[in-house]
Structure 1
Amino acid sequence: MGDRELRVSDAEREHVGELLQRAVGLGMLSLGEFTERMDTALAAKTRGELNAVLIDLPGVRLIGQPAAPPTNFVNSARSFQQRRPMPGPPRPTVATPGNVIRSRISGVSRRGHWRVAPTLRLNNWFSGVTLDFTEAIMSTQVVELRVDDYFSSLNLIVPAEATVDLDAVDLIGSSVDNKVRTGPPLGPLHLVVHGRICFGSVTAKHPLRAHWHKPLGQ
């Protein structure tokens, strides 16, 4: 079996996605080309299929080529570990399932009496994520969200007394819609969102029932 037939991991697919994102930033790919190649990369099962989305981009070393100075592309486990990460929010050295939300081409929803860690880390690709804090169980008043999302939508639903700070979010081709008070933190929950959203959106709002009560004087 040759290198081209070796199976690839999710981490390698994500790294190729980062390379494609850099290519967009450098003007080498249009958004349409990026989307098409990302679809191919996420569906790739072998190194050959994954290499195909990078074959015409300069400055990458593909499988079978001789060793060269450090490059941006991974074609072995060793080179993958040595790659330079993209700038972004700090990442934890240890992550537990309770404080990480990670999805690929999926829909994620947290509702009801779910336990909220003081810090949540989100890393989603081509997904829709809804976090409903109206009945959530929180251990701290201030909850920090560290976001690194691509082509995804993030919806934050908070109680009427909650506040949300979205000022520290880096947007790349994305939008922010904050429909709630930003601060200071006076109620039971204050969300602080950091990180990066590429070609996506983030919305903070109250539940629908909070709007229905206003006309009724409740």
Structure 2
Amino acid sequence: MTDDLPEMRASDAERERIAEVLRDALAEGRLGLEEFQERLDSAYAARTRGELVPLVRDLPQHSSGDGAVSGFEEGSSEPAPSPGRRRRWAERIGGAATSRWGVGVMGGFGRKGQWTVPRVFTALGIMGGGEIDLRDARFEDREVVIRCFALMGGMSVTVPPGLGVEVRGVGVMGGFDTSGSVAGDSDAPRVVITGFTVMGGVGVVKKLPREEKQQLRDERRAQRELERRREEESGERGRRHEIDKPGGTHGGDEGKSL
């Protein structure tokens, strides 16, 4: 690691590369779900390379952190693909929009699950807000725009890893979470979050899709069950060895017999 690494500004591609390392570690059972989410949040919030390195320093094959942070071709803004972690983005592009508006007046609205995001989705919140969840969504086109307008309210946009996001809204006594901007996978849809807020804000949250979370939980559960069985088998072999060896339980009984 070079001396200037800690102070060098991190790129979106480097943050995404670290995120991929963390996802692989979660799938392998090296990180728990809670710790994974904490590190993932820290990765996307990191401003410098020095903040990224500790997030993968204790993971196998990434002990220095340099490979995960600087493993990009010169001039490239996209992270190297992670084996086995390619999402089928092409299957999620196309189809008729299922909702074009979301309105929350002194209340809230939600768009989540399997819905199709239009080319332009408009969200309005007055003393209220809304939750826009894109983890399981389809997209009418490769690039969609989410326009958020909030007065004394707020909105949350939840995106899956790998999705391209650009945040460029304007806020007065509030604001837009520009740290949520990320390049995304090369074949992923691109979401532009824009709009205007007064005494309110728009946040971007990155989370795994529910299906992937459940799959990872199932894999962890199966792994723990396998480890438990191995421990039981190992303990049983150890007990048999103690019984069969000279001076063991059988040996002691034979010595006492006439």
State TM-score, norm by structure 2. 0.40
The structure with the largest helix share of the pair is 2
Structure with larger Rg: 2
The structure with the largest strand share of the pair is 1
State TM-score, norm by structure 1. 0.47
